[in-house]
Structure formats: structure tokens, C-alpha cells
Structure 1
């Protein structure tokens, strides 16, 4: 599995509007059919540049799914955020390859 991580810093002036918009945007990305799930998280470390920071982790089954997303959908979906929020957001993207997941072996209640 592959994780496409997008970390976004959002200006306080558009924060609430952006949060609402992100729910639709994440579904738009998932509806491309290239990803099987997404996690939307708030980064709890304060940024020197201010604003609030979030991360969205999209999970893809294969590297080809990720490549197809870049080729067929990424630019259009990125431009939607640029048109709506301009320089009020700053995003960077990373790709991760899942090596192995671990779970507790002994969980006591």
C-alpha cells in the first residue's frame, strides 16, 4: 500500500471556510477511484509561520494508482484549492510506502 500525504498550513482568516471545503475536496479525491481511504488530521505542533496545519493521508493500493492520480486528476484538484484560497494556504506532498503494520499482541481490559 502507498500513502499520499498532503500537509497544509492554512491562514486563520479562511480557516473555518477551508475546513468545510476540505470535506468536499477529500471526497472528490476519493471519488477519482485511485484511493481506498483518507485520514484527515490536525497537526498539533505550532508552526512558526502561524495559521493551523493539517494533514490528509490518502491510501492507495498500488504505486500505479498513485501515478494515475498524478496523471489524470492531481492538477485539476490542486487548482480548485488555489482558485478558492490562493496564497492563504501552503501545501507540501510526500509519498510513503507501507512496509508493515503492527498491532498489540496482548491487549488486556
Structure 2
């Protein structure tokens, strides 16, 4: 099992619009690709020395092969949709392999 993590710092003046867009459009579009099992959006609890507000969205995926298919088939189109917030946000992406999980 893998997690595709996208951490984004969003400027406060577009924060509410971005959160609404993430919840109502972007995250559902990611799930609709059929590649991800679930998505969890969390606010990062840190002192924002750079300003803005930081969030992490973790998309759970069954295996690396499916994640690679997402990059090949869907990533460009879905990332293009984030242009609504160009200059107002900065994101970085991390791929993580789950080595142990207890529920």
C-alpha cells in the first residue's frame, strides 16, 4: 500500500475558496480516477513562518503500479486544474510506502 501525499501552503486571501474547491472538486476528481482508495485532508499544525496556511492531502493507493498509472494517465490534467491558485500556493509531493498499519 502507498500514500501519495500533496502538501500545500495556501495564501490566506484565497484560503476559503481553495478549501471549498479541494473538498468539492479536486479531491472528488482524484478519487474519480479510480486509482485511489481514499483521501484524507489535514491542516498542518505548525507556526507559519512563511505565512499562509498549510494542508496535507494523503491519497491512499493499492500499489506503486497504480500510482504510476495515475502519473501517466491523470496527473497532468488534474495538476492543470490547480492553475486557479497559481502564485497563491506552493505544493510539494511525496510518495510513501506503508510498512505497517494498525486500525
TM-score interval for Structure 1 and Structure 2 normalised by the shorter chain:
over 0.9
Per the alignment, residue 45 of structure 2 pairs with: 44
Structure 1: gaps spanning 5 or more residues = 104-109
Distance 1:76 1:48 in 2: 32
Asked which structure has the greater CA Rg, the reply is 1
Give runs of aligned pairs for residues 9-88 of structure 1, distance below 5 A: 9-23=9-23, 24-82=25-83, 84-88=84-88
1:13-50 CA deviation, whole Å, 9 max, x = no partner? Answer: 10000010001200100100110001000001022210
Distance 1:70 1:47 in 2: 30
TM-score by length of 2: 0.95
Shift of 1:60: 0.3
Distance 1:80 1:101 in 2: 32
1:39-65 CA deviation, whole Å, 9 max, x = no partner? Answer: 000001022210000000000001011
1:61-97 CA deviation, whole Å, 9 max, x = no partner? Answer: 0101100000011111111012x11110100000000
Structure 2: gaps spanning 5 or more residues = none
Per the alignment, residue 6 of structure 2 pairs with: 6
RMSD, aligned CA = 0.9
TM-score by length of 1: 0.90
Per the alignment, residue 100 of structure 2 pairs with: 100
